[in-house]
Amino acid sequence: MNSTENNQLSPESAIAHLEPQIWKKVNRLQVRKMLCEFSHELLLVPKLKRIHGKWGLYTLATADGETEYQFLAQVLGLDHWHIDTDSITKIIDTKIVELDAIAFIIEFKKDLGFTDVNLPTYLEEIISCLYGSAYMHANAKLTAKDLTAASYADTEHAMIAGHPCFIANSARIGFDAIDYQNYSPEAAAPLSLIWVAGHLDCTEFTSISPLTYQQLLKQELDEETIQLFNKELLKKNLNPTSYLFFPIHPWQWFNKLIHLFAPDIAASKLVCLGYSKDHYLPQQSVRTFFNVSNTSRFYVKSALSILNMGFMRGLSPYFMRTTPAINEWVSEIVNNDAYLQQKGFTVLKEISTVGYTNHHIEKAIKADSPYKKMLSTLWRESPMDKIAPGERLMTMAALLHVDAHGNALLPELIKSSPLDTRQWLESYLQCYLSPLLHCFYFHDMRFMPHGENLILVFKDNVPVRSIMKDIGEEVAVVNQQKELPEIVKRIIIPVPEDLKILSIFTQIFDSFFRFLNHILVEHVAFPEEQFWSLVADCITEYQCEYPELEEKFRKYDLFASEIIKTCSNRLQMQNSQKMLDGANPFKNQKFAGILKNPLAAYQINLTQK
């Protein structure tokens, strides 16, 4: 069995990727992203100096006027700044100097709203992102073209960008250099998980019907391993029937549990059983593992108390109690809906969970806290069981992937398919956008459908259907009057009427289509008007199919001339450790300005459809 805690890393190899040329490259890319997203959120306001054909020459000066940035840009739909990376120039006292992402944050810290309290953590996150970006650019093996024929696991680990709208999108504050090599999705070799036994006094198992705990163990462990784990307990004079077995992240064991759960370990409430035989690979979400020894076994998602993009990545034992029921409820809706079945839309169910309650922490802390979310695990279905012969899987994040050589994957996928760009996009929209429209308008249900949460099913490199994951933590019902089973009611969230439509405008349009449109313009030379026309056609087709929902289409109008601009970075910079309250995500939301809706030009009177 693998024992990752004994892995050694030489001091030199931990920094081998921090070469001057690579560091310059990733700083330039990060400065471009900051210019793009901070300008998008109106935190920074570049000035147009003059026009160069399709490009504008823009300048951005610091408050003291000593430093100026110049760059060529096109402002695309949804106020997206398409910036020519090579054109970015930093000038101090008439001298051109190297781009430095950290210096950029410091130069504009007042404009960005930083204080001495929140700036240090954010700087640490940005530096962590640069470290990871340098690693990925130095070690990238698969080109965009290679990925058109790569496996699901290989594609997952080749991704570079992560959540595109967040500046600090891939920091893992808490990992050291050895942890990074062992556990980050871009670096890790297959690894073993640690299995523990939690006493029934502290541990609760829940699952979808009719799956039992014993059935789960037989699915995830062979009989020999189960017997070995039972013997570990018997050697300590403990009764195996009084315990629940579950896997956890190795980092969590060595860095959190052996300290904070030491009283429970000493009292044999929590018992270490050893490493798994199976090997796993961490996914883009860092705390989720894919079983590479037996791909038909479940995903494992484990609490991981590191700071990663606005949250400590714990798992609540309270939420674990209702997660399978929520997944079952959502799955029943999806499976019994003729339209969603026609589109091939499905969900990866989180089919069972274990939540461990630390009673000392519970007594000490009454409010919600990351300390209460340090020891829980859930199992999610494998997507490998949901594909037919000739089909393959790929994370939807791959559609925005640009490799270390500057080549985008999307045009390579289209070229390797039998369809032209327009036909390919039509197929994609039918399997991605159409089901989400139906879930929102017909079922008052929204997901968090960003690239990392969607798996696309491809045939001949054409997307033919989509699989939604991360259901328990992300799904929400936006209708307060909707009748739900008691155990599922926590997914009803309070949303002001005028903000309900943002579940589509923000999550789909601003957080994904904005960047997809950019890839199409820059790498495919596909006019953005044509892309938005295809989106409009997809929406219109859906609306024509459900005339009985006309009142909802008018009330939550996707063709409205203006969209409220939601600001993800403002939110993260305000509180990098807890961006949102899951029970009321609109309570702390940040808005700035209005976006012109690129779909407004395609508005068709509903009565004429």
CB 211 within 8 A of CB 353: no
For residue 74, the domain's CATH number is 3.30.310.280
- pLDDT attached to residue 429: 98
506, amino acid identity:
T
- Rounded to 10 degrees, the C-alpha dihedral 511/516/518/521 comes to -160
- pLDDT attached to residue 3: 45
Claim to verify: residue 59 and residue 135 sit in the same structural domain: yes
Residue 392 falls within a domain, yes or no? no
CA distance 2 to 143: 30
CB 198 within 8 A of CB 244: yes
- pLDDT attached to residue 2: 44
CA distance 557 to 143: 40
pLDDT in tens, 33-82: 999 999 999 999 999 999 988 999 999 999 999 999 999 999 999 999 99
Residue 499 falls within a domain, yes or no? yes
CA distance 465 to 436: 12
Residue 178 falls within a domain, yes or no? no
Claim to verify: residue 96 and residue 231 sit in the same structural domain: no
Residue 69 falls within a domain, yes or no? yes
Whole-number percent of the chain with pLDDT over 90: 82
Q: For the chain, how many structural domains are there in total?
A: 3
Domain that holds residue 447: 397-596
- pLDDT attached to residue 582: 53
- pLDDT attached to residue 584: 54
Counting as low any pLDDT under 70, the low residues of the chain are 1-8, 310, 575-589, 604-609
Claim to verify: residue 451 and residue 586 sit in the same structural domain: yes
SS3 at position 553: helix
- pLDDT attached to residue 53: 87
Claim to verify: residue 216 and residue 298 sit in the same structural domain: yes
Q: Tell me, what DSSP letter sits at residue 53?
A: T
Among residues 98, 90, 101, the alpha carbon closest in space to that of 126 is found at: 101
pLDDT in tens, 291-342: 999 988 999 999 999 988 767 889 999 999 999 999 999 999 999 999 999 9
- pLDDT attached to residue 5: 44
Length of the chain: 609
Claim to verify: residue 421 and residue 371 sit in the same structural domain: no
Claim to verify: residue 411 and residue 487 sit in the same structural domain: yes
Task: Provide the whole-model pTM.
Answer: 0.94
Instruction: Please count the helices (runs of H) and the strands (runs of E) in the chain.
Output: 22, 25
